[in-house]
Amino acid sequence: MVILDPEARALFAAEITDSLQRTPRELPSKYFYDPLGTALFEAICQLPWYRITRSESALLARHGADILSPYRGSLDLAELGCGGGSKLVTLLEYGEATVSRVQLIDLSRAALDMARALVAPLASEVVTLAGSYEDGLLRVPSHRDGRPLVMLFLGSNIGNFDRESAHVLLRRIRETLVPGDALLLGADLTKPTRDLLLAYDDPLQVTAAFNRNILRRINDELGGTFDLDGFVHRACWNARERRIEMHLVSTRRQVARVAATDLEILLESGESIWTESSYKYEPDEILAAGAAAGFGRGEQWIDEAARFALTRFAV
């Protein structure tokens, strides 16, 4: 169980209460990542059917030197949503660059501690910023000393934003950077529906556990009464929006309460709570999204087999 500070707990309670009362009902996917959710996500990354993490790490290892080649002297790196820091370490190991300061941004303090320990031997200085992407973007400029900065936004985290919100976030990243900097963006690409469904509804049911864990978290932290056996995991491909949607579908007519906000909801049999969207991109669309957000030229490294792209945007 995580002990959230009172402000974070109040926000968690307010956001889930608001989203559970929408039509259709929703839960924000950012709340998947308590310690158990983070461990389940790490297990997902090991699944043979979920290729994003392995594909991205392989691209970083194979092309790291190329990716950082414009930065001959020393540079700084910052990673939004660094998690345990393993991808950053791959880039540091293969990047053939002198990295001075690394700024690590993540909601989870446990993840930041892990990332700091991994990155510290490979950089002169490590700064950790615990908070949302927006908190991190506000604080990054005050930790700069005039060296070029490459900002990393990896793991297809961009895919968990709808296309309009992704545009707003890319713009915010662009506003934080200055000429001579760059953004390295990792984004998952469209691929056969069968492969997508296996990635988000795996035969070992790890993704199902990851999805249902959000209800367990609400029960433990906010006094929820969700019956975990009363919901099944469903992943579907929304071809029009080009996104995988994850849902928790109620298997019967049932009432759930959340004590923290005195919420009571009645779920019909078959009614779903939409918990996550993972938008998939075409390579050209990523280049266009960068240009629309005000970035300069984009260069791409693509794993055609796994259908995953790394794109470096110049500022």
Summarize as ranges the residues that interact with ligand AVI (CB under 6 A): 44, 52, 155-157, 159-160, 200, 207, 276, 278
Closest approach of ligand AVI to the CB of residue 90, in Å? 17
Structure-token match 């000429």, residue found: 179
Nearer to ligand AVI, 197 or 314 (CB): 197
Q: Which helix (H) or strand (E) holds 171?
A: helix 163-176
* Residues sharing a CB contact under 8 Å with residue 76, sequence separation 6 or more, in sequence order: 99, 100, 101, 102, 103, 144, 145, 147, 148, 149, 150
Closest approach of ligand AVI to the CB of residue 249, in Å? 16
Q: What DSSP line would sit under 63-106, residue for residue?
A: HHHHHTTT--SEEEEEEET-TTSHHHHHHHHHS-SEEEEEEEEE
Q: Which two tokens stand for residue 112?
A: 């930041």
Nearer to ligand AVI, 207 or 258 (CB): 207
Nearer to ligand AVI, 55 or 156 (CB): 156
Closest approach of ligand AVI to the CB of residue 172, in Å? 18
How far apart CA 28 and CA 107 sit, in angstroms, is: 14
How far apart CA 19 and CA 12 sit, in angstroms, is: 11
Closest approach of ligand AVI to the CB of residue 238, in Å? 14
Nearer to ligand AVI, 272 or 278 (CB): 278
* Position closest to ligand AVI via CB: 278
Closest approach of ligand AVI to the CB of residue 68, in Å? 23
Nearer to ligand AVI, 94 or 210 (CB): 210
Closest approach of ligand AVI to the CB of residue 294, in Å? 24
Q: Find out whether 200 and 235 touch, Cβ atoms under 8 Å.
A: yes
- What is the Cα gyration radius of the chain? 20
DSSP state of 134: H
Position 86: which residue type? S
Nearer to ligand AVI, 57 or 157 (CB): 157
Closest approach of ligand AVI to the CB of residue 16, in Å? 18
Nearer to ligand AVI, 49 or 225 (CB): 49
How far apart CA 241 and CA 174 sit, in angstroms, is: 25
The answer to whether the Cα torsion of 152, 156, 158, 160 is positive or negative is negative
